[in-house]
C-alpha cells in the first residue's frame, strides 16, 4: 500500500497524531447467530498533514459501507432533540426565516431537526444516505432524499428544489471521506446570499479532554476552525461567525456564506483562532503529546476494571454508542471485565458490541442485575444519564466515567 495522502491538500501523510491499533467498524453490532464467525478489524491510525495540518483518518472503510444501513437514530437522545430545537429557533431568528424560506439539512437522520423547521411552516428538505433512517423522517412529515452529498448531487438537488436560504450540516462534515467534494456540494445547495451552518467536534477540546473515544472509522477528519476554514475556502465558502458549544465534548458551530456575499468575520472567529494558536494547533509540533494522554486513560480504566474483578465486584456499561467501542477495543476489555451493556435503542438490544462481543440488553436489565458499578459510556451526556440512573444508588451501586479521566461519581 502506498502512503496515504491528505484529503485536503494532497500532501503525503508522514506524521502520526495517534495510533489506536486495530478495531472493527464501531457501528457493526453483532447478531447472536454471527458470534462464531470472524470479524474484520481495520486500523485506527490517525495522521496529521504536515502541510495543511488537517488531522485525519485515512478512509480505511468506504462511507457507503458504513452509512447505508446505519443504526443510529438521533431521536433516541432527548438532549440531542432539544439541542436541535434550540438551534432551529436561533437560526430562524438570526436569518429571519419565514414561510417563504427554504431549509435543507444534510445527514438529516430521522428528521429530529427538520421536524422543528416544518412545524414553523418553513419548507424543509432532508438529505440522508441511510434509507432506513430516512424512512423514519418521511413518517414525521419531513421530505427526504436518499443520497450522499457531493458537488454533483448537490447541483442536482438544487436544480429540482431550488437554492436554500439555509443549509444545515450538523455533525456530518467530519464524517465524509471526500470533505472537499462535500463542501462543494454545500455550496451548490445554498443560494448566493444564503448561509451554511456546520457543527463539528472541536479538535482543541478533543485534545484538552483526551477524548480519544471520539476517534472511529466513520470520523474521517478532526477539525480545528483553521482547517475548517481551509476546507470551506476550497468550495468558495467563507466563515463569518462561530459559536463554541458543549455538545460532543466541545464543538464548533460555524456560519458561512458564499465568498461573493460574505461579510467580514466576527470577533468570535478571531477569538477562536487565537485560542487554537495558543493551544499549539496552528503548528505540527503543537499536536504532539496526545498519544501519551491516551495511554494514561487506558491504564487507569484497565487498572480499575481489573481491581473490581479481583474483588469479585461487577461492572455494567450504560449506553452502547459507537464511540464506546473505540475505548473498549483499544483497552482490550471483554465480557469478563464488563458483564453487559444496556442501551435504550431497541435496534441494538439483543446484539453484541463489535470486537468485544459484550452483550447489549434493555435498560431494565440494570435493576435486575444490580451491578456494583455502572460505567457511563457517553460521558458527554453524564449529567443527563446520572439523573436517569439515580436508582443505581438505591442498591449501593456507583456510577463511573472513564473520560476525560477515570472518576467515580
- Size of residue set near Zn ion by CB under 5 A: 8
Q: Does 6 bind Zn ion (CB under 5 A)?
A: yes
- Per CB under 5 A, the list member of 22, 34, 52, 334 interacting with Zn ion is 52
Q: Please state, in angstroms and rounded to a whole number, the distance separating the CA atoms of residues 144 and 132.
A: 11
Q: Would you call 192 helix, strand, or coil by DSSP?
A: strand
Q: Does 55 bind Zn ion (CB under 5 A)?
A: no
In the complex with Zn ion, which residue's Cβ is closer, 51 or 345?
51
List of residues 6+ apart from 1 with CB closer than 8 A = none
In the complex with Zn ion, which residue's Cβ is closer, 51 or 266?
51
Question: Contact letters (x/-) for Zn ion, 382-401, by CB under 5 A?
Answer: --------------------
- Per CB under 5 A, the list member of 20, 46, 48, 49 interacting with Zn ion is 49
Nearest to 233 by CA among 276, 179, 275: 179
Helical segments of 279-338, H only? 290-310, 322-330
Burial code of 327-338, b = ≥16 C-beta within 10 A, e = fewer?
A: bbbbbebeeebb
Of 6-14, 55-63, 288-296, 344-352, the window that binds Zn ion (rule: CB under 5 A) is 6-14
CA distances from 72 to 212, 328, 347 (A): 20, 19, 9
- Residue 354 has phi, psi (to 5 degrees) of -60, 140
In the complex with Zn ion, which residue's Cβ is closer, 52 or 293?
52
Query: Least separation, in Å, of the C-beta of 224 and Zn ion?
Result: 13
Q: Does 179 bind Zn ion (CB under 5 A)?
A: no
In the complex with Zn ion, which residue's Cβ is closer, 30 or 55?
55
Packed helices 290-310 and 322-330: angle between N→C axes, nearest 10 degrees: 80
Q: Please state, in angstroms and rounded to a whole number, the distance separating the CA atoms of residues 348 and 350.
A: 6
In the complex with Zn ion, which residue's Cβ is closer, 49 or 273?
49
In the complex with Zn ion, which residue's Cβ is closer, 3 or 408?
3
- Per CB under 5 A, the list member of 51, 79, 314, 388 interacting with Zn ion is 51
In the complex with Zn ion, which residue's Cβ is closer, 180 or 240?
180
List of residues 6+ apart from 25 with CB closer than 8 A = 40, 42, 61, 65, 66, 216, 217, 218, 354
> By CB under 5 A, what part of segment 8-37 binds Zn ion?
8-9, 11
Q: Which residues bind Zn ion (CB under 5 A)?
A: 6, 8-9, 11, 49, 51-52, 54
Amino acid at each position: 500500500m502506498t502512503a496515504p495522502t491528505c484529503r485536503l491538500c494532497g500532501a503525503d501523510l508522514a506524521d502520526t497524531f495517534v495510533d489506536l491499533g486495530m478495531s472493527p467498524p464501531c457501528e457493526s453490532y453483532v447478531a447472536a447467530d454471527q458470534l462464531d464467525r470472524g470479524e474484520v478489524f481495520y486500523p485506527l491510525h490517525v495522521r496529521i498533514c504536515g502541510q495543511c495540518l488537517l488531522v485525519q483518518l485515512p478512509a480505511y472503510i468506504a462511507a457507503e459501507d458504513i452509512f447505508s444501513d446505519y443504526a443510529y437514530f438521533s431521536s433516541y437522545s432527548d438532549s440531542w432533540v432539544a439541542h436541535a430545537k434550540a438551534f432551529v429557533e436561533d437560526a430562524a431568528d438570526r436569518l429571519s426565516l419565514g414561510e417563504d424560506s427554504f431549509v435543507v439539512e444534510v445527514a438529516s437522520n430521522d428528521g429530529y431537526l427538520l421536524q422543528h423547521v416544518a412545524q414553523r411552516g418553513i419548507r424543509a428538505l432532508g438529505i440522508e444516505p441511510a434509507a432506513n433512517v430516512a424512512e423514519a423522517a418521511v413518517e414525521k412529515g419531513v421530505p427526504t432524499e436518499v443520497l450522499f452529498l457531493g458537488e454533483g448531487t448537490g447541483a442536482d438537488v438544487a436544480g429540482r428544489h431550488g437554492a436554500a436560504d439555509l443549509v444545515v450540516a450538523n455533525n456530518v462534515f467530519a464524517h465524509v471521506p471526500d470533505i472537499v467534494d462535500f463542501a462543494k456540494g454545500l455550496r451548490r445547495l445554498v443560494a448566493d446570499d444564503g448561509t451554511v451552518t456546520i457543527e463539528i467536534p472541536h479538535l482543541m477540546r478533543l485534545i484538552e479532554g483526551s477524548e480519544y473515544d471520539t476517534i472511529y472509522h466513520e470520523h474521517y477528519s478532526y477539525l480545528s476552525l483553521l482547517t475548517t476554514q481551509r476546507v470551506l475556502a476550497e468550495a468558495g465558502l467563507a466563515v463569518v461567525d462561530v459559536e463554541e458549544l458543549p455538545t460532543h465534548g466541545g464543538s464548533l458551530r460555524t456560519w458561512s456564506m458564499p465568498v461573493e456575499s460574505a461579510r467580514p468575520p466576527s470577533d468570535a472567529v478571531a477569538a477562536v483562532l487565537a485560542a487554537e494558536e495558543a493551544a499549539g494547533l496552528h503548528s505540527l509540533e503543537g499536536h504532539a503529546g496526545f498519544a501519551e494522554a491516551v495511554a494514561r486513560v487506558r491504564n487507569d480504566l484497565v487498572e480499575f476494571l481489573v481491581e473490581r474483578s479481583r474483588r469479585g465486584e461487577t461492572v455494567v456499561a450504560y449506553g452502547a454508542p459507537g464511540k464506546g467501542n473505540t475505548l473498549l477495543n483499544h483497552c482490550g476489555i471483554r465480557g469478563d471485565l464488563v458483564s453487559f451493556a444496556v442501551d435504550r435503542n431497541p435496534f441494538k438490544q439483543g446484539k453484541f458490541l463489535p470486537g468485544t462481543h459484550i452483550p447489549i440488553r434493555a435498560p431494565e436489565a440494570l435493576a435486575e442485575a444490580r451491578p456494583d458499578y455502572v460505567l457511563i459510556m457517553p460521558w458527554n451526556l453524564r449529567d443527563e444519564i446520572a439523573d436517569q440512573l439515580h436508582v443505581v444508588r438505591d442498591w449501593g451501586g456507583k456510577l463511573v466515567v472513564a473520560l476525560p479521566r477515570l472518576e467515580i461519581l
